[in-house]
């Protein structure tokens, strides 16, 4: 039986990943041999999400849209567990969600706009930022690369995956 999780990661061009702990220990773990990759698609779907994912950025087209669909599949997200939001959306009108939410901001300009930060993307990545809605409740934001940029520079696919794993851990710990 083929492992769907590994197949989706392979489609995204990711053959190896390293968790933040493993990077600190200078240890890379092959996806093919990792415990996560050995789960079935059904198990991944059962434990994938404890809340909602909001993806912000320029709506992907063509291959970038396919990459987003693959990301959603790999994360095991159902249709009601994620939504695409435009960075031009009025953030103060976003309603406070009942369940925990994590935001993934695709691209430095998008991350800057929704968080109010001024640093470039390399400094914003690997940090939990906050959505700038003007409301008291903070919604965590993870900044990552624009999907089209990832397609042009395949080395960034592994970094994108690390960002998604960070977002997943933030959501699970909410």
Convert the pLDDT of each residue in 39-68 to its tens digit.
333 343 344 446 899 999 988 999 999 999
Taking alpha carbons only, the member of 63, 56, 39 closest to residue 131 is 56
User: Residue ranges of the alpha helices (H) in the chain?
Assistant: 4-11, 20-24, 41-47, 63-75, 108-115, 121-124, 147-152, 156-172
Residue 155 lies in a domain: yes
Has residue 39 been placed in a domain?
A: no
Sorted by sequence, the CB contacts under 8 Å of residue 11 that are 6+ apart come out as 70
164 within a domain of the structure (yes/no): yes
Over residues 93-120, the pLDDT tens digits come to 776 667 789 999 999 999 999 999 999 9
Asked if the structure places residue 81 within a domain, the reply is: yes
Determine the structural domain holding residue 107 and report its residue range.
49-172
Question: Tokens 């903070």 identify what position?
Answer: 138
Give domain status of residue 31, yes or no: no
Q: Please report, for the domain that includes residue 62, its CATH number.
A: 3.40.470.10
Residue 19 covered by a domain: no
pTM greater than 0.75: no
Number of domains composing the chain: 1
The reply to whether 23 falls in a domain is no
Examine residue 42 and state whether it is found in any structural domain, yes or no.
no
């Amino acid at each position: 039986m083929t492992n769907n999780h590994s197949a989706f990661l392979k489609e995204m061009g990711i053959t190896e990943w390293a968790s933040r702990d493993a990077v600190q220990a200078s240890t890379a773990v092959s996806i093919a041999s990792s415990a996560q990759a050995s789960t079935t698609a059904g198990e991944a779907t059962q434990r994938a999400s404890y809340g909602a994912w909001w993806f912000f950025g320029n709506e992907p087209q063509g291959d970038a849209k396919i990459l987003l669909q693959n990301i959603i599949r790999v994360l095991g997200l159902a249709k009601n567990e994620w939504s695409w939001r435009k960075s031009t959306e009025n953030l103060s009108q976003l309603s406070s969600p009942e369940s925990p939410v994590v935001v993934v901001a695709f691209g430095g300009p998008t991350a800057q706009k929704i968080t109010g930060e001024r640093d470039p993307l390399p400094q914003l990545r690997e940090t939990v930022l906050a959505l700038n809605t003007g409301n008291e409740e903070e919604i965590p934001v993870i900044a990552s690369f624009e999907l089209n940029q990832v397609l042009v520079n395949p080395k960034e696919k592994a970094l994108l995956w690390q960002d998604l794993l960070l977002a997943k851990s933030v959501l699970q710990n909410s």
